[in-house]
Structure 1
Amino acid sequence: MIVHNLLLKLQDRSSESSAKAKDLLLTLNGNVEVIRKLKVGVDIRRAESSYDVALIAKFDTKADYQSYLVHPFHVKVGNQLKSNIAAAASVCFEE
């Protein structure tokens, strides 16, 4: 199983903006068939050093993860979020 962790720091760090980003990311579930499990959460710490939104997605294989990266629905969601992203970090690992 491949685990993809994504952290987003938003330019608009309001609670409303974070909730909107979360809702948008959750639309990946069911629209990108290679996702086996998806969790999205909003930071409750709200510190300057915190990221605002976290996504954890699981895939059966590395090939499934790679197909997710170029999947048209994933690209569409990324493009919708792009203008509000100040910084992003990710870690992918096999479990």
Structure 2
Amino acid sequence: MIVNNLLLKLRNIDADTIKKTQEILLSMRGKIEALIDIQAEINIRPGESNYDIILITKFASLEDLDKYLIHPKHLEVAKYIASVLDTQASVCYNL
């Protein structure tokens, strides 16, 4: 199993923007066949050097991760994320 973690730091870190971003990320659940599992968790310990949200996605293979990345629903979500994103970091690994 492939696990991809994406850390997101938003430009505007008000509670409404963070919650809306979490909901939009989770809107991919059940809509992308290659996506086995998805979590989007809000950081409960904010700080200047901390990220605001972690997105955890799971796939059967790297090929499925590649399918997810070009899926229309993912591209729609990515467009929104780009509009609120300050910076991101990711870690992808075998489970």
2:91 corresponds to: 91
Distance 1:79 1:6 in 2: 15
Aligned residues, how many? 95
Q: Which residue of 2 aligns with 1:64?
A: 64
1:26 aligned partner: 26
Unmatched tracts of structure 2, length 5 or more? none
Kindly, what percent of the aligned residue pairs are identical?
A: 38
Q: TM-score, with normalisation over the residues of structure 1?
A: 0.97
SS of 1:83 mapped into structure 2: helix
SS in 1 for 2:36: strand
**Residue of structure 1 in register with 2:80 after alignment:** 80
Q: Report the CA distance between 1:68 and its aligned residue.
A: 0.6
Deviations 1:17-72 (A, max 9, x none): 11000000001111111111111100110111110111000001110001111111
The runs of at least 4 consecutive aligned structure 1 residues that moved more than 6 Å come to none
Alignment root-mean-square deviation, CA = 0.7
User: In the aligned structure 2, how far is the partner of 1:50 from the partner of 1:14?
Assistant: 14
The one-letter code matched in structure 1 to 2:59 is F
Indicate the residue corresponding to 2:37 in structure 1: 37
Unaligned runs of 5+ in 1: none
